[in-house]
């Protein structure tokens, strides 16, 4: 079983990202489970969302403490929240940041930084970074196919909005693939 | 067909396919997504039902009582404080023998205010005369609605039912759920044919006054009907299994229990985490198994006594506390095992949404085997 933890702020779409990543993974033929950290929903407050991937039915219901993957939607969280907590050796951390800062991640963990905010502004016209980061996640981990992500976005959003978000996801996907 | 759905939406779909004629509910976290979805289905003419919007939960269930007495299949959903506001009507609905189905997205009781999960709400109304089903995952959360309607509406039962599923932990989780088609649901669940109903042409009364000469007999009949529902659940659950491959005939279910020395008793979504913890402990040679209670009312005491007869010790995990006493499920499991000599430990955990991990389950099993440990598990040390 693989586990993903998403850190963001209320309003950034972390829960939607978890949902769509799980939907895309399910399309790829694995069992997936997505759930929020049940916070008090306030815009700007730190929030978490979780995804599990497994080749058999997922029964575990606890939150995720030792993830294989972490997505950080907002690098300003890093000073307030221990976002890298528990990440497994060999794991992957994806941070949205304008500067290619060298955040201190635990040993043996791969850090990928991406300017998802600029990508989102360019593709969507709004600083909503979740879909860009989903593209980056697909490229970095291989847990979900880009085509499945596209389908999930098309299913979730009206046509025009879906197209913009798919473009954001594609730009981030290509950026991560190109850097690798 | 397997679909990736949020628990609340899967439940709303199942309710829609159960063809309720009247839906009345008041939104409350974490139940909101269910009633939002149903309101939308009614507005879009996907569900041919009267959606009665009300000012609070007391009115929501009252509307269901009227509609059910008039002969409609009715539905509501609530949780926590909302359920408590309904409490008077909860007792009346059962006493008037109205087969209303209500989803409970289980949540803790205030004060202090908590929007998070435990089972204090529905368990606190265990004595009201409603059947109570508890789902371990969203598959059960959907399927149990069909089963609940079928059993509740049977003319030999005529009692309302709660279908309980853990707030947030199930209600807000996306996971694959095998959804039936409308055709399949129709095959299992026939149209509601009330035994009697309000009819101006043939007037009768519901919920009459009962003097001491008559009152105890009404309670006796309700108790008898609840006990009878065990057989109906077994029959309908088996039929569901034959039709769709998921057999719900058992009120309780064992997991790796046959050769177990220690049994962990669970209700609701905690069962999944416990199963994973059991697999880990089994791999280390520990003989641990799980007993899951899917039907809490009627309470399956005989089934529990039988299935646990061979174990050396039992630990009951309660996501509720009867303050000043113990966890409600623990008390009744102990009663079921009275005379067997099997020690029963009761652990209260997961209150107000406190996360329960596999390592907690493992620690509880270790404590139980050593005969140590307190009633409350995992408290912050500053209160001790």
List the one residue out of B76, B33, B42 whose CA is nearest residue B58: B76
Of residues A38, A61, A65, nearest to B269 (C-beta): A61
Its sign, for the CA torsion A96, A102, A107, A112, is positive
Q: Are B172 and A36 in contact (CB < 8 Å)?
A: yes
SS3 string, B74-103, reads EEEEECHHHHHHHHHHHHHHHHCCCCCEEE
Provide the pLDDT for residue B86. 98
Q: Which residues of B touch A17 (CB under 8 A)?
A: none
Render A47-61 in DSSP notation, one character per residue: EEEEEEEESS-----
pLDDT, tens only, B270-314: 999 999 999 999 999 999 999 999 999 999 999 999 999 999 999
**Percentage with pLDDT > 70 across chain B:** 100
In chain A, domain spans = 2-179
Q: Average of pLDDT values for B198-224? A: 95
Distance from CA of A179 to the nearest CA of B (A): 32
CA pair distance B227, A51, nearest whole angstrom: 41
Token pair belonging to A169:
């996801």
CA distance linking residue A117 with residue B225, whole number of Å: 62
Q: What is the residue-wise DSSP string for B325-337?
A: S--HHHHHHHHHT
- Out of A31, A35, A40, name the one closest to residue B173 (CB): A35
Nearest C-alpha in B relative to A50: B173
Mean pLDDT computed over B181-190: 98
CB A2 within 8 A of CB A143: yes
Q: CA A65 → CA A5, A45, A56, distances in Å? A: 8, 20, 21
Phi-psi region of B288 (alpha: psi -120 to 50; beta: other; left: phi over 0): beta
Evaluate whether A137 touches A143 at the Cβ level (below 8 Å): yes
pLDDT, mean of residues B131-140: 98
Fold equal for B2-244 and B252-383: yes
Of A32, A38, A59, the CB nearest to B353: A38
Domain B2-244 maps to which CATH number in 3.40.50.970, 2.30.140.10, 3.40.718.10, 3.40.50.300?
3.40.50.970
Positions of E strands within chain B: 2-6, 22-24, 50-52, 74-78, 101-106, 131-134, 161-166, 174-178, 252-255, 262-266, 288-293, 295-297, 313-318, 344-348
pLDDT at B92 over 80: yes
Look at residue A11 in the predicted model and tell me its pLDDT.
87
β pairing state of B131-134 and B295-297:
antiparallel
Minimal Cβ distance to A59: which of B117, B275, B355: B275
Cβ contact (<8 Å) for B168 and A38?
yes
First-to-last C-alpha distance (Å) of chain A: 24
Cβ distance of B276 and A60 shorter than 8 Å: yes
Measured between beta carbons, the chain A residues lying within 8 angstroms of B165 are: none
Q: Which of B34, B38, B32 is nearest to B16 (CA)?
A: B38
Distance from CA of B196 to the nearest CA of A (A): 43
- Residue B110: which pLDDT band, with cuts at 50, 70 and 90? very high
Q: Tokens at residue A90, please?
A: 């060999």
B 102-141 residues inside an 8 A Cβ radius of A: 115-117, 137
pTM of the predicted model as reported, rounded to 2 decimal places: 0.97
Q: How many residue pairs from chains A and B have C-beta atoms closer than 8 A? A: 62
Model pLDDT for residues B28-37, shown as the tens digit of each residue: 999 999 999 9
Does the domain formed by B252-383 have CATH 2.60.40.420?
A: no
Is residue B155 predicted with pLDDT exceeding 70? yes
To test the contact with chain B by mutation, choose from A59, A60, A67, A144 the residue with the greatest count of B C-beta atoms within 10 A, namely A59
- Residue of chain B minimizing CA distance to A28: B4
Instruction: Classify strands A2-9 and A69-72 as parallel, antiparallel or unpaired.
Output: parallel
A33:B355 CB<8 A: no
- Measured between CA atoms, how close is B219 to chain A, in angstroms? 39
- Of the candidates B383, B220, B227, which has an alpha carbon nearest to the alpha carbon of residue B303? B227
- How many residues belong to chain B? 384
Interface mutation target, options B3, B166, B174, B274, chain A, most CBs of A under 10 Å: B174
**Closest CA–CA distance from residue B135 to any residue of chain A (Å):** 13
On average, the pLDDT of chain B sits at: 97
At A180 the pLDDT is 66
- Non-local CB neighbours of B366 within 8 Å, separated by 6+ positions: none
Q: Which pLDDT belongs to residue B140?
A: 98
Residues of A with CB under 8 A from a CB of B: 18-19, 22-23, 26, 31-36, 38, 40, 58-63, 65
Query: What pLDDT shows up at residue A40?
Result: 66
Q: Is the dihedral of CA B322, B326, B329, B332 positive or negative?
A: negative
A33–B174 C-beta distance less than 8 A: yes
Nearest-neighbour CA in chain B from A28: distance (Å): 12
Domain boundaries, chain B: 2-244, 252-383
Give the pLDDT band (50/70/90) at residue B146.
very high
| Residue that has been written with the tokens 């529990």 in this structure | B304
pLDDT of residue A41: 64
- Given CB atoms, is B255 within the 8 Å cutoff of chain A? no
Q: What is the pLDDT of residue A44?
A: 82
| pLDDT digit string, tens, across residues B216-265 | 999 999 999 999 999 999 999 999 999 999 999 999 999 999 999 999 99
CA distance A73 to chain B (A): 21
CB < 8 Å from A in window 325-364 of B: 353, 355-358
- Work out the angle at residue B171's Cα, subtended by the Cα atoms of residues A86 and A10, and round it to the nearest 5 degrees: 55
pLDDT tens string, chain A, 180 residues long: the values are 999 999 999 889 999 999 999 999 999 999 999 999 876 667 788 899 999 999 999 999 999 999 999 999 999 999 888 999 999 999 999 999 988 777 888 999 999 999 999 999 999 999 999 999 999 999 999 999 999 999 999 999 999 999 999 999 999 999 999 876
pLDDT of residue A26: 97
Residue with tokens 């909101």: B32
Candidates 3.40.920.10, 3.40.50.620, 3.40.720.10, 3.40.50.300; CATH matching A2-179: 3.40.920.10
């Amino acid at each position: 079983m693989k586990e993903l933890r998403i850190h963001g702020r209320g309003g950034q779409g972390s829960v939607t990202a978890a949902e769509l990543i799980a939907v895309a993974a399910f399309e790829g033929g694995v069992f997936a489970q997505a759930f929020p950290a049940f916070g008090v929903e306030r815009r700007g407050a730190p929030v978490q969302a979780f995804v599990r991937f497994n080749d058999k039915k997922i029964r575990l219901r606890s939150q995720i403490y030792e993830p294989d993957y972490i997505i950080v939607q907002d690098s300003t969280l890093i000073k307030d929240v221990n976002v890298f907590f528990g990440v497994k050796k060999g794991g992957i951390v994806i941070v949205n940041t304008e500067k290619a800062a060298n955040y201190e991640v635990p040993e043996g963990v791969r850090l990928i930084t991406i300017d998802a905010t600029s990508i989102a502004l360019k593709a969507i016209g709004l600083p909503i970074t979740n879909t860009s980061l989903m593209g980056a996640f697909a490229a970095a981990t291989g847990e979900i196919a880009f085509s499945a992500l596209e389908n999930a976005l098309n299913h979730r959003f009206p046509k025009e909005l879906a197209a913009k978000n798919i473009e954001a996801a594609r730009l981030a996907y290509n950026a991560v693939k190109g850097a690798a | 067909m397997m679909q990736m759905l949020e628990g609340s939406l899967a439940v709303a779909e199942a309710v829609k396919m159960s063809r309720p004629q009247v839906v009345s509910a008041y939104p409350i976290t974490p139940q909101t997504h269910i009633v939002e979805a149903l309101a939308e289905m009614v507005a879009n003419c996907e569900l041919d039902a009267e959606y009665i919007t009300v000012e609070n939960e007391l009115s929501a269930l009252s509307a269901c009582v009227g509609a059910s007495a008039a002969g409609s299949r009715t539905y509501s959903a609530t949780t926590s404080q909302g359920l408590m506001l309904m409490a008077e009507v909860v007792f009346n609905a059962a006493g008037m023998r109205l087969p209303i189905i209500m989803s409970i997205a289980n949540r803790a009781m205030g004060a202090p205010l908590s929007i998070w999960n435990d089972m204090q709400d529905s368990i606190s109304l265990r004595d009201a005369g409603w059947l109570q089903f508890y789902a371990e995952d969203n598959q059960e959360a959907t399927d149990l609605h069909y089963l609940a309607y079928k059993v509740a509406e049977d003319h030999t039962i005529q009692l309302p039912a709660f279908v309980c599923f853990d707030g947030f932990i199930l209600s807000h989780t996306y996971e694959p759920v095998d959804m039936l088609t409308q055709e399949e649901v129709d095959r299992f669940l026939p149209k509601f044919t009330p035994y009697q109903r309000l009819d101006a042409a043939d007037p009768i009364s519901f919920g009459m006054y009962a003097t001491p000469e008559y009152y105890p007999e009404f309670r006796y009949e309700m108790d008898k009907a609840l006990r009878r529902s065990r057989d109906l659940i077994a029959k309908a659950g088996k039929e569901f299994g034959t039709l769709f491959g998921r057999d719900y005939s058992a009120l309780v279910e064992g997991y790796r229990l046959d050769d177990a020395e220690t049994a962990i008793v669970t209700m609701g979504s905690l069962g999944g985490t416990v199963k994973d913890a059991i697999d880990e402990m089994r791999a280390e040679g520990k003989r641990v198994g799980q007993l899951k209670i899917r039907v809490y009312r009627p309470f399956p005491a005989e089934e529990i006594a039988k299935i646990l007869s061979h174990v050396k010790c039992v630990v009951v995990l309660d996501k509720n506390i009867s303050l000043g006493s113990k966890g409600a499920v623990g008390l009744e499991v102990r009663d079921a095992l009275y005379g067997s000599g099997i020690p029963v430990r009761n652990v209260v955990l997961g209150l107000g949404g406190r996360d329960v991990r596999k390592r907690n389950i493992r620690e509880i099993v270790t404590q139980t085997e050593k005969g140590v440990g307190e009633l409350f598990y995992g408290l912050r040390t500053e209160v001790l």
